[in-house]
Structure formats: structure tokens, C-alpha cells
A and B are shown apart, each in its own frame.
Chain A
Amino acid sequence: MVQLSVNGVARKYDGDPEMPLLWYLRDLLELAGTKYGCGAGLCGACTVHVNGQPVRSCITAMKDTAGKKITTIEGLSPDGKHPLQLAWQELNVMQCGYCQSGQIMQAAGLLKEKPKPTDADIDAYMTGNICRCGTYQRIRSAIKKAAGVKA
């Protein structure tokens, strides 16, 4: 039995301990905002926060989430108005939008570590998150906008 918290709600899980957190969130909790992209920690689409740190939920086994606080895109802010979510809208960042939950969760991790990131900080921190539509330029701008850093 694994006990964990997801977006502030206490949860108990007694299925396959090897099941990745991603599928627990998507299939069992119906929190589908966290996306599957590669299943191997290569693309970042499945990024969630575990105890405040961005991790790849596709390679995080349920047995390793015991006692942990999980935050998904659905729980990033109570009203969906995290500065990153607002900046993403203001700059019309998304194209297809599929990777953007993971991008936003990763960027939220960056801003916790470096509230005023440089371009180099952003590139280094966001490199694990693939966007096949190619929205990187606007992602970079939106992170700076959310951080109040000059474009």
C-alpha cells in the first residue's frame, strides 16, 4: 500500500508497485493533463512535481512515491492563474498544446530555483522538454515574462 498526496488530496494505492506515476495519474485518477510522450524520461511531456521538484512521471514508479506530495498541471495553482499559465496565454505560446503541461511544470521548477533566469539558465533547464511544434522561442519569452525579466 502506497500513501501519497496528489494536488493536496490524500490517496492510497495498492496496485503494481512498478506502475509509473504517469499511468496512475492518467488512468486511475483521470488527471489527464499529464501527458505521455516517450515513456523513457526523454521528452518531459509527463513532468509533474514531487515534493516541489519537477520529475518525469513516466519513469517514477508508484513504490517510490510513498509519502510524497505530487502536484500536476491541474494542481499548479488553485485558479489556473499561475504567472506561467498567464504568460503562456498572453504570448500565445502553444500550438498543438500537448507538451505544454510538461513545459509549464518544468518552468515552474526553474522559477523556484532561479526566480530571475537568464536565457542560458532557461535553455539549460528546459532542454529536457521537447516541443515538436517548435514553440521554444515563445516558451523562453513567456518564462521571462512570468519572471518579470526583460525580454
Chain B
Amino acid sequence: MKILLIEDEPELARSIDSFFSKEHVLCEAVQTFEEAFEKVNLYQYDCIVVDITLPDGSGLDIIRQLKEIRSEAGIIIISAKNSMDDKITGLEIGADDYLTKPFHLPELNARVKSIIRRRQFNGDKIIQFDQIRIVPETGEVSVNHKPLVLTRKEYELLVFFIANNNRLLTKEAIAEHLWGDEMDQADSFDFIYTHIKNLRKKIQDKGGQDFIQTVYGMGYKFSGQ
């Protein structure tokens, strides 16, 4: 998998790169509009993560160029400007998703994976993790071929966990993924605990193993044995 990261802040680019390297994703990072423009015209990427405000141009123009050359890469905008306008324009001209800085890296990871999955027209769009099988198009989940009935939040939680398997997810990152950033309430954390407890129980009821580890004081980690 190959990602082009267009981000003018080198430290942020390095962090994202470093995060993706664990996912066995090849992440190419460029810092200017010019470099990015050259890259998108020369190479093929699975996903392009683009910052809108670049020192020498607008990320929106790169998206327009990608559409012009009929690139099939998924596009995620990352922008510090929490601007509705940019978001709408970006999505209108063909971006797949929009993420506001500062974001949690697992969130970006989950979104990149979701986009790449949706773009695999030929391959299967099924998420398979150990005994768990998810069909995102229909929302069906099964463990050991036994159907699993999950609430909407439990489903979202599970997909988020699998996208970030073997990674520590903080309660804050989970809360933001499930409810967006206006849910900055201490209550939402025990709420997450309830959801995780239920999810764990449902999987185990179907004979699945306990994939969710609690990392004391920090969060949760989803991993196969």
C-alpha cells in the first residue's frame, strides 16, 4: 500500500510516516505544492493525505488535478482550518474525507484504511481479523461463522479497533471516533467502558477469544494472540 502525504509541517509528517510504517504502509511525504503536483502526476498511490494550506498553493488544486488525470487514489483532506467551506468544497471536488487538525493518529489510520477498502473494486471488501469477519457494505459481523448482533456504536468500535489492531487506543481517541469532538465529557469515558465490556462479552459468547486488553490508565489495545 502506498500513501502520499502532503503536509508542510515536517514534524507532523514524520509522526504520520512513523505511525504508518508499523502498518506496513509505504508513506511518501512531500512538503510543498510543487513537489506534490509532480508526484501525483508521475506515480500511482492508494491514498493521498493532503493539507489544504500549503506554503506555495492550495491542497484543493491538487485534488482538482487528481480528478483531472482520473486518479483512482482515495483522498483525505487534513486541515487546521475547521472551515465548513473548505470541507464542502473539498468533498464536492472529489475528496473522500476531511479531518481537522489536531487529530489522533489512529483516527487517520482508520479513515485511510476505510477509504482504501472502499476503493478496492476488484478485491473483496471484507474485513477479516482472526475469527472475526465483517462485511462493511451490509454491516454484518460474524465470529467463528456465527452471526454477531451489535449496536451501531459497538460495530463502529469494533471496526475502529480492527483498523488499529495491536495499537494502543486512548479513551479520548475512541470517544472522538464514536461521538465527534463535542463529547468532551468525563461521562463518555465510563460510557466507552460499558460499550467495550458489552462488545467483549458478545464476542466471547460466540466462542471468540478476548481480543481487547485494558492498558491501565491509558486505554485499550485490540490484538490477536
Chain B binds chain A = no
**A binding-site residues for B, Cβ under 8 Å:** none
